[in-house]
Amino acid sequence: MKRSIEPAFTEADISLIDAAYEKLRPSEALSDWFTQYTRNHRKRLAIDLRMLRENAAEGAMVVEFGSAPCLLTHAAQSAGFKVIGLDLEPDRITEATGSLEILKCDIERGPVPLDDGVADVVIFNEVFEHLRIDPIFTISEVARVLKPGGRLFLSTPNLQSLAGIRNLVLSNRSAFVCPDPYEEFSKLRTLGHMGHVREYTTRDVIEFLEHFDLKTQEIIYRGMRGKRLMRLTQRVFPRLRPFFSVAAVKRG
């Protein structure tokens, strides 16, 4: 299994994310969240788009689980992919999806409204850590809609990150991105979706996916946190970076 660090995004990638931000407008109640989310995740989304463009042919069918706030959905379609997004309540996210196909779906409670094996690629980015009901059911649906040989890209916070270890040892916290459980569950009321339930290690995710004939081919370590010494440590030891992506393939 290959281990690597995230690729650099190009000016074209970041431009497509920025164009999506200008095009999409959420309901007034979520406008502040939309702007803050874009500010925090703009570069990550550009890297997600770069990884997709490097690993899938133009015109490939892409299914994105948890599209909100639809920035990557819009950018991927603009880049020439056929994209279907899935979201709990699409209307709460944006009133200007335009030509985007965003299907209403509670990915934790009901089947995805798509046929078996329709997707060349499934994007499951920053979703796994939010699952609170039945991740087995959700990932079984991911595997179902992927065609044999199709690829899954799943990104999530890294519990084994340097920041995560620091929080565990020094702050008695079992997470580093969103360590307050009360605040994360409160998002069910304020945003309409769950915050983070827990964070995972690479081994946790690899072994979980194996149960669904999803074989991990590559781990991509992502991001940097902290000041100079912490960043130097993460550069020398990539597995201590704060996020990772799993690139997996569905067996035939």
46-77 confidence digits (pLDDT tens)? 999 999 999 999 999 999 999 988 999 999 99
193 within domain boundaries: no
194 within domain boundaries: no
More confident position, 177 or 47: 47
189 within domain boundaries: no
Q: Are 163 and 227 in contact (CB under 8 A)?
A: no
Model confidence at 28, pLDDT cuts 50, 70, 90, reads: confident
Domain carrying residue 138: 2-164+199-250
183 within domain boundaries: no
211 within domain boundaries: yes
> pTM for this one?
0.92
Inter-CA distances, 2 with 24, 68, 126, 133, 141, Å: 36, 30, 21, 31, 26
SS3 of 193, please? coil
Domain at 68, CATH number: 3.40.50.150
Q: Are 201 and 239 in contact (CB under 8 A)?
A: no
The reported pLDDT for the residue numbered 173 is: 86
SS3 of 88, please? coil
Report which of 107, 111, 104, 99 is spatially closest to residue 123, judged by C-alpha positions: 107
Q: Are 245 and 155 in contact (CB under 8 A)?
A: yes
112 within domain boundaries: yes
More confident position, 1 or 13: 13
SS3 of 82, please? strand
| 73-121: pLDDT as tens digits | 999 999 999 999 999 888 776 665 667 899 999 999 999 999 999 999 9
> Is residue 238 scored above 60 in pLDDT?
yes
176 within domain boundaries: no
Q: How many domains does the chain have?
A: 1
Which are the contacts of 128, defined by CB distance < 8 A and separation ≥ 6? 135, 154, 156, 200, 205
